[in-house]
């Protein structure tokens, strides 16, 4: 009878792996047990994993070895167990007292079409019915378990997705198999049918809003803010101290958010199957503020490819111009505005997180000796430092715009306010009164808040119903100044006795239904309310 021998043992990822082959029976069990115990003693107290891919036979003598080891070393598991050996372990109850994983069928992706690529793996089409996601991590079973769990959670919460129905071996790693009958990725649709880009944008944003409106039970998904904070902290030694401090404080200040984000949301991860749009590659699901999602989207469509436009062709399947067009259209539709200042503000904030991740990625890959990578590192770092000087918050709202406090930005402010007024029953007279009030306040901020320096101003527009009211909130970080303390001009005086100026704030108070000022957290905050 053929005996068992240990092919090898190794310590990997903090675990002791022992590889078995042949048979464990009454004739050789004592020698095998001594050899295993000797290996365990030398390795120390770490989890033990038996790889039984080549184990052909096990009798009750072998089971007694396992039971004794289990009592002595509680953290034991078996992987790659053949169907016969698994049946023995299951029949005798061993699958109830330890982790026992069946051997996985082996598939090859040689010559298969690549239909998706994410941070943790690549998706290939095996045939017209099936695709397989191959993980980069060779010890990916825990990753696969996590992705299957979060995909089920997403499906329960109403996000249409494909659930893996099988796990396979692919080369030195593992893969999850999905049924995607005749499915086409959005990348493929855009590349092959460019006239459908607007349809893809609409469906893409519709799914994105569905994801971001989905509340996730506490503790079931990772917190993206914590992950982003680890990226920011990593750069502490690679940025000027003031920049790294600012970056960390910006991420820390992002409010907690229990809504879902995908984390790797690009056009290769949306599939059209039988007129149904499915979201795939779910291992990056998390909860957090939408700015983290937009940052990964910016990288997928722009950031990774800014200095190498051919790269997007390799990744997405379409050119950089199309990628940029798609990103701009998505941002407009998602935010519900064509205001360029608002779009730039949100894109800039996404770039801050996006560049943080790109810089960390280059440094961790230790490829900065490459001329190409060095150039990218220098570019991303310079962009990040410049952006950090411009913003005091990463939070954005479709109802708020941040611009430089300069008179040249007045038209942006008025256009932004007017876009929101179009959604109300505001009469022409009321529109004019609101516009005049907004101009007076913004020009006042532009001329005096930061003089002689420069700074930003934000304007928030809130519309409430029943009764309909419009509230404008102006915020700046300039010198403390309460304009309401200024005395009203005497409008009964004849023209030759009246001083020039002083009418702006007076008109604001006369035409608005409520005006109030406060200075809080180093900010001037002025609210104007108009009843419609």
Q: What is the pLDDT of residues 290-299, one digit of tens each?
A: 999 999 999 9
Give the tens place of pLDDT for each residue, 196-244.
999 999 999 999 999 999 999 999 999 999 999 999 999 999 999 999 9
Q: Please, where in the chain does CATH 3.30.565.10 lie?
A: 400-531
Measured between alpha carbons, how far is residue 376 from residues 133, 249, 361 in Å? 29, 25, 11
- pLDDT for the residue numbered 369: 66
Domain 400-531 in this protein, CATH class: alpha beta
**Burial class of 39 by CB neighbour count within 10 A (0 to 12, 13 to 18, 19+):** middle
How many Å apart are CA 40 and CA 45, to the nearest integer? 8
Residue whose structure tokens are 């023209």: 495
Q: What is the DSSP letter of 391?
A: -
Q: What residue ranges of the chain are covered by domains with CATH 3.90.1200.10? A: 190-388
> Looking at the DSSP assignment, which residues form a beta bridge with residue 448?
none
Q: Which residues contact 338 (CB under 8 A, 6 or more apart)?
A: 332, 419
Judge whether residue 117 has pLDDT over 90.
Answer: no
What number of other Cβ atoms are within 10 A of residue 260's Cβ? 26
Confidence of residue 258 (pLDDT cuts 50, 70, 90): very high
Q: Which of 436, 390, 404 is nearest to 417 (CA)?
A: 436
Peptide bond into 452 cis (omega under 30): yes
Longest distance between any two alpha carbons in the chain, whole Å: 120
pLDDT band at 1 (very low <50, low <70, confident <90, very high): very low
pLDDT tens profile 348-401: 999 999 999 999 999 998 766 688 889 999 999 999 999 999 999 999 988 888
First to last CA, the chain: 94
What residues contact residue 153 under an 8 Å CB cut-off, 6+ apart?
216, 220, 221, 285
Question: How much of the chain, in percent, has pLDDT values that exceed 90?
Answer: 63
Mean of the per-residue pLDDT values of the chain: 90
The CB-based long-range contact list for 376-379 (8 Å cut-off, 24+ gap) reads 376/307, 379/306, 379/307
Residue with the bigger pLDDT between 467 and 445: it is: 445
Residues in the chain: 532
- Classified by CATH at the fold level, domain 113-179 comes out as Phosphorylase Kinase; domain 1 (3.30.200)
Where helices occur in 51-140 by DSSP H, the ranges are 60-72, 83-91, 94-97
Residue 2 clears pLDDT 70, i.e. is over it: no
Whether the pLDDT of residue 495 is over 70: the answer is no
Per-residue confidence (pLDDT) for residue 464, from 0 to 100: 86
* CATH classification (class only), 5-102: alpha beta
**Angular region, 445: left φ>0, alpha ψ -120 to 50, beta rest:** alpha
Cα 342 from Cα 52, distance rounded (Å): 59
Task: Work out whether the CA dihedral 384, 389, 391, 394 comes out positive or negative.
Answer: positive
Q: Quote the CATH superfamily of domain 190-388.
A: Aminoglycoside phosphotransferase (APH), C-terminal lobe (3.90.1200.10)
Residue 525's pLDDT is 97
In this prediction the pTM is 0.71
Mean pLDDT of 245-270: 96
How many of the other CB atoms lie within 10 Å of CB of 105? 10
Q: What confidence score (pLDDT) does residue 367 get?
A: 63
- The sign of the torsion formed by the CA atoms of 115, 354, 365, 306 equals positive
Residues of the chain with CATH 3.30.200.20: 113-179
Question: Could you tell me which residue, 263 or 181, shows the higher pLDDT?
Answer: 263
As a whole number of angstroms, the distance between CA 254 and CA 518 comes to 23
pLDDT at 121: 84
């Amino acid at each position: 009878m053929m005996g068992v021998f240990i092919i090898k043992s190794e310590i990997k990822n903090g675990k002791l792996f022992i590889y078995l082959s042949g048979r464990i029976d009454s004739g050789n069990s004592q020698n095998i047990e001594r050899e295993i115990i000797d290996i365990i003693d030398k390795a120390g107290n770490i989890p033990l994993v038996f790889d039984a891919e080549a184990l052909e036979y096990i009798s009750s003598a072998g089971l007694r070895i396992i039971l004794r080891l289990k009592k002595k070393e509680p953290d034991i598991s078996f992987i790659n167990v053949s169907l016969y050996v698994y049946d023995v372990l299951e029949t005798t109850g061993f699958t109830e007292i330890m982790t026992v994983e069946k051997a996985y069928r082996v598939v090859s992706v040689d010559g298969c079409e690549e239909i998706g690529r994410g941070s943790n793996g690549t998706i290939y089409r095996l045939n017209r019915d099936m695709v397989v996601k191959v993980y980069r991590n060779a010890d990916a079973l825990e990753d696969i378990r996590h992705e299957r769990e979060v995909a089920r959670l997403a499906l329960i919460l109403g996000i249409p997705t494909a659930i893996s129905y099988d796990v396979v071996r692919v080369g030195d790693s593992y893969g999850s198999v999905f049924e995607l009958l005749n499915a086409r990725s959005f990348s493929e649709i855009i590349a092959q049918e460019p006239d459908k880009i607007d349809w893809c944008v609409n469906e893409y944003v519709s799914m994105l809003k569905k994801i971001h409106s989905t509340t996730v039970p506490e503790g079931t998904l990772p917190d993206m803010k914590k992950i982003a904070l680890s990226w920011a902290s990593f750069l502490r030694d690679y940025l000027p101290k003031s920049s790294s401090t600012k970056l960390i404080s910006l991420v820390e200040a992002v409010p907690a958010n229990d809504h879902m984000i995908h984390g790797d949301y690009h056009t290769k991860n949306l599939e059209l199957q039988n007129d149904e749009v499915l979201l795939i590659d779910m291992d990056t699901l998390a909860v957090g503020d939408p700015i983290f999602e937009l940052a990964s989207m910016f990288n997928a469509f722009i950031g990774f490819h800014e200095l190498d436009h051919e790269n997007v062709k390799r990744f997405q399947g379409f050119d950089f111009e199309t990628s940029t067009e798609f990103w701009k259209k998505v941002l407009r539709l998602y935010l519900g505005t064509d205001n360029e200042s608002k779009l730039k503000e949100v894109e800039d904030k996404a770039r801050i997180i996006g560049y943080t991740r790109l810089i960390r990625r280059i440094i961790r890959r230790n490829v900065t000796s490459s001329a190409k990578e060095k150039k990218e590192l220098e570019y991303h770092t310079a962009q990040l430092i410049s952006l950090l000087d411009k913003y005091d918050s990463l939070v954005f709202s479709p109802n708020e715009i941040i611009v430089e406090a300069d008179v040249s930005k007045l038209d942006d402010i008025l256009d932004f306010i007017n876009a929101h007024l179009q959604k109300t029953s505001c009469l022409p007279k009321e529109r004019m009164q609101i516009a005049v009030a907004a101009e007076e306040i913004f020009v006042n901020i532009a001329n005096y808040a930061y003089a002689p320096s420069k700074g930003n101003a934000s304007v928030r527009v809130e519309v409430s119903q029943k009764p309909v009211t419009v509230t404008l909130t102006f915020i700046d970080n300039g010198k403390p100044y309460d304009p309401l303390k200024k005395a009203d001009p005497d409008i009964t005086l004849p023209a030759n006795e009246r001083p020039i100026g002083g009418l702006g704030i007076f008109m604001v108070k006369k035409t608005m239904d409520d005006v109030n000022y406060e200075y809080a957290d180093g900010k001037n905050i002025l609210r104007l309310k108009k009843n419609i």
